[in-house]
Amino acid sequence: MQSYVKSNDKMFHNALATLTEICEVKSGENMVIIADSDCFAYASVMCRVARDLGVNGIIIDIDHWGGTEKYMKMPVMEPLRQAILHSDVAIMLTDQMKTDFGIFLGNSDDCDAALVAGTRRFTFEATGMENWDLDMDRIKADRARTLALYQWLKEAKEIRITTKRGTDITCKVGNEPDGMYPVMGIVPFYAEVAIVPSMGSVSGVVVADGASEFAYAQRGFPIRPAFAGHQELWKEPMRMVFKDSMLVEYDGDPVQKARLTKLLADIDPKPDLCDEVGLVTCTSNENNMYGWRVCGSHQTHCIHVALGNNRRRKETIHSTEHVDFDVHEPTISVDGTVIFDGTNFMDDVILKHQ
């Protein structure tokens, strides 16, 4: 591997803050960092910071293992698997849309397990670390909001999401969802509450005016791309109608509609279920500037609704097909109380549920 980013003081500061205040590494612990040529500079800085903290850190290079297909068909490598399982802290610096802990460990469920609060397997979105103006107070507030909202939704009955462009959808919460998780393992900026709705608990209209993830198990082209070199958010939004958690109607830009039609025809089981309602709770601009560059989704001031084919809804978030569609500037209410007005969270209301 080679370093393509010159280290600077800001990189060291940001690595130190993330490792100590979010990952909470401690002297004497063993840490493994998974990296390739795209992120080696960041991995090197993190290991040097870890050494100064008394943490035993190593970098595992998977660049050649990915080969010419770049991680499309990677077999499980037992030495890497064992290193992850036996480390105190495991940090993945490689692109999270190309690799994940499920691939490394040989079990897709481990991808979800590494995303939720309490894990010590982190997906580190390190791109741009040399430029971040890390606001740790904001990040800690985002994480506190995420946990408080998660607690509230476990006690509430229903959320409603509306937008000026026509979104109006309801989702049952409380004991109704097949799963609900505070997603806090993508560091340092990202956080959300992910709801896996039960069948029959989501109805209404979603007007997806933001980006979508890559289709075909993250290996195909997006329905609504928004990445460098291919930007289609100027086109008509994708309008999707859900009834009892099933996609029953959709329309939009003809090319994007054709992509979705083909996806629904190609995949078995058909990905026509509302597999997730994701309430994005982070507010750092760096999430939008540097994170999720591969597809342009999961932005702040958004929610996302996922199409998928999850037949194990009580066990996992992500199934064999799972495509998130961003919805910009939503108004979100919980049992009639507005918690987000498209711009700001009502933390005075949310944090009462800590």
Examine the domain organization and report whether 100 and 245 are in the same domain: no
Of the listed ranges 157-171, 277-291, 317-331, the least confidently predicted one is 317-331
Examine the domain organization and report whether 289 and 235 are in the same domain: yes
Examine the domain organization and report whether 219 and 342 are in the same domain: yes
229-253 pLDDT, tens digit per residue, is 899 999 999 999 999 999 999 999 9
Average pLDDT over residues 124-131: 92
Instruction: Please say which residue of 124, 158, 188 terminates a domain.
Output: 124
pTM confidence score: 0.91
- pLDDT surpassing 70 at residue 288: yes
Range of the domain at 63: 9-124
- pLDDT surpassing 60 at residue 21: yes
Examine the domain organization and report whether 163 and 288 are in the same domain: yes
Task: Residue count of the chain, please give it.
Answer: 354
Average pLDDT over residues 47-54: 95
Strand intervals (E) in the chain: 30-35, 56-61, 89-92, 121-124, 158-162, 168-172, 179-183, 186-187, 192-196, 202-208, 226-227, 230-231, 238-243, 246-251, 273-280, 302-308, 322-328, 331-334, 337-341
Examine the domain organization and report whether 120 and 144 are in the same domain: no
Examine the domain organization and report whether 295 and 174 are in the same domain: yes
User: How far is residue 354's CA from residue 351's CA, in Å, rounded to a whole number?
Assistant: 5
CA 270, 180, 189: angle at the middle one, nearest 5? 100
- pLDDT surpassing 50 at residue 345: yes
pLDDT computed for residue 102 by the predictor: 78
Examine the domain organization and report whether 202 and 80 are in the same domain: no
- pLDDT surpassing 70 at residue 270: yes
Q: pLDDT > 90: what percent of the chain?
A: 69
Instruction: Please say which residue of 124, 147, 175 terminates a domain.
Output: 124
- pLDDT surpassing 90 at residue 334: yes
- pLDDT surpassing 70 at residue 110: no
41, containing H or E segment: helix 40-52
Query: Which of 354, 29, 62 lies closest to 182 in space, CA to CA?
Result: 354
- pLDDT surpassing 80 at residue 30: yes
| Tokens at 72, concatenated | 């499309």
> Total domain count for the chain?
2
User: Please, which pLDDT band fits residue 354 given cuts at 50, 70 and 90?
Assistant: confident
Q: What is the mean pLDDT of the chain?
A: 89
Average pLDDT over residues 6-32: 91
Average pLDDT over residues 137-150: 97
Examine the domain organization and report whether 108 and 61 are in the same domain: yes
User: How far is residue 195's CA from residue 310's CA, in Å, rounded to a whole number?
Assistant: 13
Examine the domain organization and report whether 117 and 148 are in the same domain: no
pLDDT computed for residue 1 by the predictor: 46
Examine the domain organization and report whether 112 and 141 are in the same domain: no
User: How far is residue 239's CA from residue 224's CA, in Å, rounded to a whole number?
Assistant: 12
Average pLDDT over residues 166-181: 95
Q: Which is more confidently placed, 108 or 340?
A: 340
| Tokens at 70, concatenated | 């770049």
Q: Which is more confidently placed, 184 or 1?
A: 184
pLDDT computed for residue 210 by the predictor: 96
Instruction: Please indicate, yes or no, if residue 150 is contained in any of the structural domains.
Output: yes
- pLDDT surpassing 60 at residue 47: yes
User: How far is residue 39's CA from residue 61's CA, in Å, rounded to a whole number?
Assistant: 10
291-301 pLDDT, tens digit per residue, is 887 788 999 99
pLDDT computed for residue 323 by the predictor: 92
The string of DSSP letters for 310-326 reads -S-TTT-S--SSEEEEE
Average pLDDT over residues 323-342: 97
pLDDT computed for residue 43 by the predictor: 94
pLDDT computed for residue 322 by the predictor: 87
Of the listed ranges 13-22, 296-305, 313-322, 334-343, the least confidently predicted one is 313-322
Q: Which is more confidently placed, 294 or 45?
A: 45
Query: What region, left, alpha or beta, does residue 118 occupy, with left being phi > 0 and alpha being psi -120 to 50 degrees?
Result: left
pLDDT computed for residue 330 by the predictor: 98
